[in-house]
Amino acid sequence: MNEEIATGSNDLDNDYYAILGCDETSSTEQIIAEYRVRALRLHPDKTGNTRKWYHSWEQMNMIIVADAHFAALSQAKEVLSDPEKRKAYNAWRRCPTFMSFEEWLLRKDFIGMVNDLLCSFFVYA
């Protein structure tokens, strides 16, 4: 978190558009198509994480990483294929905030007026 504050990052390393190989101009259909292509490679049934026993630590670590990638992919599709969530996500990307999108969404209702004021100042200035 300290590094995020120092760099002014708002978690763009986990950019949902980058995860899906899309950009803000992509249609919902394009987003879903990109999700399907990537989900076929990362789905737990394809990576073998349905096993209860692993042959090595490396195998277990590879499966854990694949699971994390699949979870991020699924979260990206869920947000970007929903027009309201996508609108909120795009607003978050443009704001100088130091919290994850999920945390920002939870707090948005409580700090909405202040956040909207700051966002409009930085986005439209």
Annotated domain spans of the chain: 2-124
- What pLDDT score was predicted for residue 35? 95
Cα 17 to Cα 35: distance, rounded to the nearest angstrom: 10
Query: Which ranges of the chain would DSSP assign to H, the alpha helix?
Result: 2-7, 16-20, 28-42, 44-47, 57-80, 83-94, 101-108, 112-124
Give the pLDDT band (50/70/90) at residue 5.
Answer: very low
Fold for the domain defined by 2-124: Helix Hairpins (1.10.287)
**To the nearest whole percent, how much of the chain has pLDDT over 70?**
63
Q: Is the pLDDT of residue 53 over 70?
A: no
Question: Once rounded to an integer, what is the mean pLDDT over residues 73-97?
Answer: 91
